[in-house]
Amino acid sequence: MLLIRCPYCEEERPELEFRNAGEAHVVRSTNIAGESDDDFEKFFFIRSNPKGVIYERWRHIHGCARFFNAVRDTVTDKFVMTYKAGEPKPAKLPGASK
């Protein structure tokens, strides 16, 4: 069972307290009704599904109930870092050489 650090509780808690909520940094248009088919397809259907580092959303559903973002390696399942919802995608990951 993974340990996940909730950036709001500032604590590592067991995976059982959390629920994954899909890919992060997928922005919903403020003019969604006017979006083209292609743009809506990209927004709603297309996900990166990488082998390696993924940016994804989690919710501390059985804890503080907040949604937050996490960087996880899909190969090792290791969490690189977590950060609050609304914060920008980190430019540099901890442990990365550049």
- For the bound state, the minimum distance from the C-beta of residue 28 to other proteins, rounded and expressed in Å, comes to 5
CA distances from 15 to 47, 70, 88, 94 (A): 23, 13, 24, 21
Nearer to other proteins, 67 or 90 (CB): 67
- For the bound state, the minimum distance from the C-beta of residue 49 to other proteins, rounded and expressed in Å, comes to 19
- For the bound state, the minimum distance from the C-beta of residue 65 to other proteins, rounded and expressed in Å, comes to 7
CA distances from 41 to 5, 20, 56, 92 (A): 32, 22, 19, 29
Amino acid sitting at position 98 = K
Query: Binding residues for other proteins, per CB under 8 A?
Result: 1-3, 14, 19, 21, 28, 30, 32-33, 35, 37, 40, 44, 57, 59, 61, 65-67, 76-77, 85-86
